[in-house]
Amino acid sequence: MAEDITKSPLYKIANPQSIVVFGASSDPTSMGSIQLNALMDLGFKGKIYPVHPRDKIIMGLKAYASVQDLPEVPDLALIVVPTKIVGEILRYCGEKGIRHAIVVSGGFKELGEEGARLEEELKEIAKVYGIRFLGPNCIGVANPYARLNTTIFKYTAPPGYIGMASQSGSFVTQMFDYIKLFNMGFSTAFSVGNEADLDLVDCLQYFALCPHTKVITLYIEGIRRGRQFVEIAREVSLSKPIVAYYAGGTNTGKRAGLGHTGAVAGPEKLYEGAFKQAGIIKANNVQELFLIAWAFQNLPLPKGNRVVVLTHSGGPGAAAADACGRAGLEMPELNKELVEKLKNYLPSTANLKNPVDATFSKNMIVYYTELPQIILDHSTTDVLFYYSFMPQERVKAILKEMNIKEEQMEEMAKEILKEQTELIRSIMLKTQKPIMCFNFRDPRDPYVAALIERNIPVFSDPHLGAKAIKALLDYWVWRNNRKKGDGYEK
């Protein structure tokens, strides 16, 4: 594996200084134009050269009749033209000296034999000129740090820490809004399309070296270089967690995937085995893929499987316990010393088993301060699974009781949210143990929004939280065993 990210064949694709665009035109509804628009919208700082046989100005940029006319050799070619002329364009690029391309155009291997032949031709041309390329049948790259977005949607999330390599362009572009819901952003996201040249393995190697990437996510319909994939992923997993959703496992999934990028899907079990060997965390759907990544990005890894559930009402506690049971997590009986410590802060109606049920209490502040602190501080707790729910009506009722004036209330309620959520974060950082929050609130709820803003994940159902805890734990165990050298996968 390369030690220097600039040596990665994907480096210039994700970090170009200049781009030539084929397929944008004065028609703003064409796909090439939409992509150029997204690129300009993010404020790409390098040079952009549209090439078009007739149009002279495209979206305010000077357009060139041919790639030969360009005043320099661009780092990257973005090709969004009819299938039959893609080869020709790529050849012109090669002659100009361009060595990196993104082929957006479809109509290749994914459409059958004739398409497969055209794809082989493309590979030949690339080989002749030493061009490394992404695609065909892809949507390109989003790297918000380089203000690069070649896709068809505006990049709306903040620059972030999630690396994404996807065999579906949708799970790059159509996730921009989605990941923003979790206050997440991509470090860089690659749509790899048919992977005629660069593939998931290259992406893994890139992300291993990418300084912004904390967690790697993969959307897989079928893996092409199986052995290399497992070998490289096994290495990369040692430093960064990889979470993957494989959609080709069922027969219906397989058929759908085949129609899409022409990858070869295998039985679920095969992929499961490969993932396990490589330390890859398996997600069962898109939602899990990003929720687990959210947990990896923001929570310390648990160092054991002893979960303590903290709740102030029975139902959510029982649901969390049920979720832990299903996910294979342990909820041991509460340590006696811990019980004694908690007793000082709880009403007599509280239940001091696991879940710890604080029940209804007039002094609700203790639920957000002393209780999580005491539970996580104790050596017998590995994870706090926390029903984090702070009804704003109650906060305001208490402020009213304290004779706070109506006009100061909003601000004070905000201040309380800030203090409480920052405290939770600081407890987690100090103890280096994860706090997994869950509730059943609208994401617009002020308390939920305040937690998310401070990068404390809040799961909308405990079964999702339990799965994420299990994912973190599995990764910790795998990595530990790998480091010890005794082979977790045996």
Segment 224-253, which members bind a second copy (CB under 8 A)? Answer: 245, 247-253
**Ramachandran angles phi, psi of 243, nearest 5°:** -115, 130
Contact string (CB under 8 A) for a second copy, positions 135-174, x = contact: -----------------xxx-----------xxxxxx--x
Q: Based on the shown chain and the rule CB under 8 A, indicate whether residue 292 belongs to the binding site for a second copy.
A: no
Q: Based on the shown chain and the rule CB under 8 A, indicate whether residue 285 belongs to the binding site for a second copy.
A: yes
Assigned token pair, 379 = 């050596």
Q: Which of 75, 195, 357, 382 binds a second copy (CB under 8 A)?
A: 357
Q: Based on the shown chain and the rule CB under 8 A, indicate whether residue 309 belongs to the binding site for a second copy.
A: yes
**Ramachandran angles phi, psi of 49, nearest 5°:** -120, 100
Query: What's the gap between Cα 296 and its chain centre?
Result: 9
**Residue with the two structure tokens 């990889």:** 242
Assigned token pair, 76 = 């990257």
Run of H or E residues at 379: none
Q: Which is nearer to a second copy, 153 or 207 (CB)?
A: 153
Q: Which stretch binds a second copy (CB under 8 A): 9-17, 309-317, 406-414, 419-427?
A: 309-317
Fill in the DSSP letter of residue 22: E
Range 55-114, binding a second copy (CB under 8 A): 106-107, 111
Contact string (CB under 8 A) for a second copy, positions 453-472, x = contact: -------xxxxx--------
Rg (CA), the chain: 26
Q: Which of 61, 270, 318, 412 binds a second copy (CB under 8 A)?
A: 318
Least CB distance to a second copy at residue 426 (A):
27
Q: How many residues bind a second copy (CB under 8 A)?
A: 90
Alpha-carbon span 357 to 346, nearest angstrom: 9
Q: Which is nearer to a second copy, 93 or 452 (CB)?
A: 452
Q: Which stretch binds a second copy (CB under 8 A): 43-51, 200-208, 355-363, 418-426?
A: 355-363
Least CB distance to a second copy at residue 319 (A):
5
Determine contact, residues 92/68, Cβ cutoff 8 Å.
yes
Q: Of how many residues is the chain composed?
A: 490
Q: Which of 325, 414, 415, 480 binds a second copy (CB under 8 A)?
A: 325
Determine contact, residues 386/438, Cβ cutoff 8 Å.
yes
Q: Which stretch binds a second copy (CB under 8 A): 57-65, 123-131, 278-286, 407-415?
A: 278-286
Q: Based on the shown chain and the rule CB under 8 A, indicate whether residue 195 belongs to the binding site for a second copy.
A: no
**Residue with the two structure tokens 């006696």:** 336
Range 369-428, binding a second copy (CB under 8 A): 389, 391, 393-394, 397-398, 400-401
**Residue with the two structure tokens 């084929």:** 22
Q: Which is nearer to a second copy, 60 or 487 (CB)?
A: 60
**Ramachandran angles phi, psi of 438, nearest 5°:** -145, 155
Q: How many CA atoms lie within 13 A of 477 on its CB side?
A: 13
Range 200-229, binding a second copy (CB under 8 A): 219, 221
Contact string (CB under 8 A) for a second copy, positions 33-62, x = contact: -x----------------------------
Q: Which of 5, 256, 365, 409 binds a second copy (CB under 8 A)?
A: 256
Q: Which is nearer to a second copy, 68 or 284 (CB)?
A: 284
Contact string (CB under 8 A) for a second copy, positions 430-449, x = contact: ---------xxxxxxx----
Contact partners, residue 273, CB within 8 Å, separation at least 6: none
Give, in degrees to the nearest 5, the angle at Cα 192 between 33 and 22.
Answer: 25
Taking CA atoms, 468 is separated from 103, 139, 181, 282, 473, in Å, by 36, 29, 17, 11, 9
Q: Which of 319, 376, 395, 469 binds a second copy (CB under 8 A)?
A: 319
Least CB distance to a second copy at residue 133 (A):
19
Q: Which of 124, 322, 411, 415 binds a second copy (CB under 8 A)?
A: 322
Q: Which is nearer to a second copy, 68 or 250 (CB)?
A: 250
**Residue with the two structure tokens 């041991």:** 332
What 3-state class would DSSP assign to 79? strand
Residue 488's identity, in one-letter code, is Y
Q: Which is nearer to a second copy, 70 or 258 (CB)?
A: 258
CB neighbour burial string for 167-201, b if at least 16 within 10 angstroms, e if fewer: bbbebbbebbeebeebbbbbbbbbbbbbbbbbbbb
